[in-house]
């Protein structure tokens, strides 16, 4: 069973930084694409960033230049380094995983949610 554990959220002032972690188990980590999504109150879940098994990355326009997704395959962990945070980044952040061609599918669908495996979410609050 694939399990994803997201952590690292918190309260930060605008302009600050946070690093989220997503630790995975129950899968061959190198073969999986991992993506971060977020959902603010009253809004649909939206894609933030994705990374393929071999390290290719993709970002939604709203976070380009501010967020960086990376992975440590030895630790079965994907990170989302978030900098220059703004109040509009406030949301619950989820990580998701999919095997094989999930990264290509994620790009083709504009990062709209489709992954089968999801973590429990971590709250990020950015104060103005």
| CA 18 – CA 20 distance, rounded (Å) | 7
pLDDT at residue 74 in the model: 96
| CA 18 – CA 67 distance, rounded (Å) | 10
Q: What is the pLDDT of residues 54-65, one digit of tens each?
A: 999 999 999 999
pLDDT at residue 78 in the model: 98
Mean pLDDT of 52-79: 96
pLDDT at residue 65 in the model: 97
| CA 28 – CA 49 distance, rounded (Å) | 21
Sign of CA dihedral 31, 56, 45, 22: positive
pLDDT at residue 27 in the model: 93
pLDDT at residue 3 in the model: 97
Q: What is the pLDDT of residues 96-113, one digit of tens each?
A: 999 979 999 999 999 999
Contact 69, 56 (CB under 8 A): no
Q: What is the pLDDT of residues 12-64, one digit of tens each?
A: 999 999 999 999 999 999 999 999 999 999 999 999 999 999 999 999 999 99
């Amino acid at each position: 069973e694939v399990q994803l554990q997201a952590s690292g959220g918190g309260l930060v002032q605008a302009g600050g930084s946070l690093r989220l972690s997503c630790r995975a188990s129950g899968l061959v980590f190198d073969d999986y694409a991992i993506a971060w999504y977020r959902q603010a109150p009253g809004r649909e879940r939206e894609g933030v960033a994705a990374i393929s098994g071999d390290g290719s990355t993709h970002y939604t326009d709203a976070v380009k230049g501010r967020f960086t997704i990376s992975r440590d395959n030895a630790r079965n962990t994907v990170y989302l380094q978030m900098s220059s945070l703004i109040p509009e980044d406030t949301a619950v952040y989820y990580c998701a995983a999919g095997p094989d061609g999930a990264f290509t599918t994620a790009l083709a669908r504009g990062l709209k949610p489709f992954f089968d495996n999801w973590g429990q979410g971590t709250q990020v609050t950015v104060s103005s």
